[in-house]
Amino acid sequence: MSAYLTRERLAIAALLCLGIGLRLANLGNVSSRTPDERVYAARARGWIESGPAAMRSAAQDYLRDPMVRNYPVPTRLGEVRLIAAWMRLTGQTGEAAGAGVSTAASIASLLIVALFGVRLFPPWATIFAVLFYAVSPAELACARRAWPDAVIELIALGLVFIAAEITLAPRRAIWYALFAAVGSAGIAIKEAAPLQYGLCGLWVL
């Protein structure tokens, strides 16, 4: 951090504000929601009303009805519970609740990118990384949708950051506990999580 001068810190802070502002402004810029987003919202409302029973019912429908298999699998309980928590917190009950989760996850990812750069890379590399991530069209598209991609991306970045910290300080047990907690949480979000968990686990080993 000592390598970063005041002007470089200000530049990173300005880019963070830009990225956060774009994500918040982009949140309401959706004219219609996808079927997947409606399914996540319905399952989150079911969780609020009935708890685990709602997910058991969703799993039974998934196994019984081939048409339901065109939609997200009911094993993504972590995403459903995050959306349900957002609904309780904000009072939103529609698809916008899931988009709020994605926006919050995308903002957190942006902060991790900045933190990663400040910890491990020279100032110019951090500035460009934060800039590109702040204005990435793909990232902005995911941030406004009630899909689990933004959350799983946050978990992946968190795993990479924690693995790097373990490499720098392999005797600090707290990083191993965080690695296990973050990686295990990702398994409940999306099926791709074990891959990134395993690859980072190999790095740690």
- C-alpha distances (whole Å) from 119 to each of 2, 18, 131, 151 are 10, 21, 17, 23
101 and 88 Cβ atoms separated by less than 8 Å: no
Average pLDDT over every residue of 123-144: 96
Q: What was the pLDDT predicted at 107?
A: 98
Average pLDDT over every residue of 164-182: 95
Which amino acid appears at position 82 of this protein?
Answer: L
Nearest to 167 by CA among 124, 129, 200, 199: 200
pLDDT tens track for 62-103: 999 999 999 999 999 999 999 999 999 999 999 999 999 999
pLDDT tens track for 20-46: 999 999 988 888 899 999 999 999 999
Q: What was the pLDDT predicted at 30?
A: 85
- C-alpha distances (whole Å) from 147 to each of 103, 106, 127, 179 are 10, 12, 28, 23
Structure tokens belonging to residue 122: 């020279």
Q: Over pLDDT 90: what percentage of the chain?
A: 93
- Please say if the pLDDT value at position 1 is more than 60: no
Q: What was the pLDDT predicted at 50?
A: 95
- Please say if the pLDDT value at position 194 is more than 60: yes
Q: At 191, is the secondary structure helix, strand, or coil?
A: coil
- Please say if the pLDDT value at position 146 is more than 80: yes
- Please say if the pLDDT value at position 151 is more than 70: yes
Nearest to 78 by CA among 168, 3, 172, 154: 154
pLDDT, the chain, mean: 94
